A = this chain, B = another copy of it.
Amino acid sequence: MLRRGFLSRINAAQWSRQMSVVAKSLKYTQHGEPQEVLQLVEDKLPDPKDNQVLVKILAAPINPADINTIQGKYPVKPKFPAVGGNECVAEVICVGDKVKGFEAGQHVIPLASGLGTWTTHAVYKEDQLLIVSKKVGLAEAATSTVNPTTAYRMLKDFVQLCPGDTVIQNGANSAVGQAVHQLCRAWGINSVGIVRDRPEIAELKQMLQCLGATEVLTEAEIRTSDIFKSGKLKKPRLAFNCVGGKSATEVSRHLDNGGVLVTYGGMSREPVTVATGPLIFKDIAFRGFWMTRWSKENYSSPERSKMFKEIFELMEQGKFVAPNHEMVPLAKFKDAAAAALSFKGFTGKKYILDMSI
């Protein structure tokens, strides 16, 4: 039995005869480069039963981890055949007869990872979905479960921050970096962003400052900056690293005693080098963060509900926007997938598959 929401109940037989759904999905049956192993495949979807929910995907981003998963380079291994993608925003089409919390027309996002979101339609389980207000933009909702939550947890779970405290990060224009700036602005925390120098550095600085960055400095500028020594900003007790190598060392150098450097990415493919002195005498800690683990370990926790509530409130109020992005049609997935994993893709622009075009 299906329910199409409270306002438009029809039975499953009627409905399936009326509008049998064919999903177009980006599937792969072996690991490899996305451009080579992904195939656009059509499958007729079964009607949603029991606790299942049939959704139409509206938008689904291409994240670096999605590409790594397809390449077989990620710790999470899918079962083949697999549909690519982990994030999306979708609209509920109809629900199985045991579903209580959802109705047709609502917008939802996935609570679980590995659901395969690069598809026009999908059947998920009720407990894999979270309703999101339609006041939240499609790009924001589609990209809400990985980057903003990573920024949120890294700001909450390593050091107890107070308004007026400072956070420093490299790769400050990454999608997580942009989220960090916006959450810091909302919470009254100073955020200092480090970026690589580039021809369009002035525009980049302006963009990040618009998102709430207190200071944006190039890697050369931070080495000679006196923003902390002069007392203009409090020395940071929390730093985020998505680059590694010398960039990570430089960021950690500015940490106050007892500070923590949290690594969530390694764009340079160079390890983090940790001198003995800061470890022992400054009590600097080097930690890592992986959103996938946190989400699994806190799947139904009140802390997770609270986090989504806060993030969506900021999005509704226009205080938190999606990272720089480009909407691309599903048919152009090959170009987008190739670009998403490049250095430019990771720090410059997020590609979001738009299923409506």
> Which A positions have Cβ atoms within 8 angstroms of B?
75, 244, 263-266, 271-290, 293
Contact = CB atoms under 8 A, between A and B. Distances in A.
A276 B265 contact: yes
Contact of A244 (B75, B265, B276): B276
A51 to B, nearest CB: 31
A3 to B, nearest CB: 40
26 contacts: A75-B281, A263-B274, A263-B280, A264-B280, A265-B276, A265-B280, A266-B280, A271-B275, A272-B273, A272-B274, A272-B275, A272-B279, A273-B274, A276-B288, A279-B287, A279-B288, A280-B288, A280-B289, A280-B290, A282-B288, A283-B287, A283-B288, A284-B288, A285-B285, A285-B287, A286-B286
Nearest to A290: B280
Contacts of A284: 288
A281 B276 contact: no
A284 B277 CA distance: 20
Given A263-B280, A284-B288, A285-B285, 10 more contacts: A263-B274, A265-B276, A271-B276, A273-B273, A273-B274, A279-B287, A283-B287, A283-B293, A285-B286, A286-B287
Nearest to A258: B293
B272 A276 contact: yes
A154 to B, nearest CB: 12
A87 to B, nearest CB: 18
A150 B257 CA distance: 19
A81 to B, nearest CB: 25
A74 to B, nearest CB: 9
B274 A266 contact: no
Contacts of A276: 244, 263, 265-266, 271-272, 288
Contacts of A263: 274, 276, 279-280
A263 to B, nearest CB: 5
A142 to B, nearest CB: 23
A279 B265 CA distance: 9
Given A271-B273, A273-B271, A273-B273, A283 B278 contact: no
Contacts of A271: 273-276
A75 B288 CA distance: 28
B286 A279 contact: yes
A279 B243 CA distance: 13
A268 B288 CA distance: 25
A288 B278 CA distance: 8
Contacts of A289: 280
Contacts of A275: 271-272
Nearest to A275: B271
A75 B281 CA distance: 7
A75 B257 CA distance: 13
Contacts of A272: 273-276, 279
Contacts of A277: 266
Nearest to A289: B280
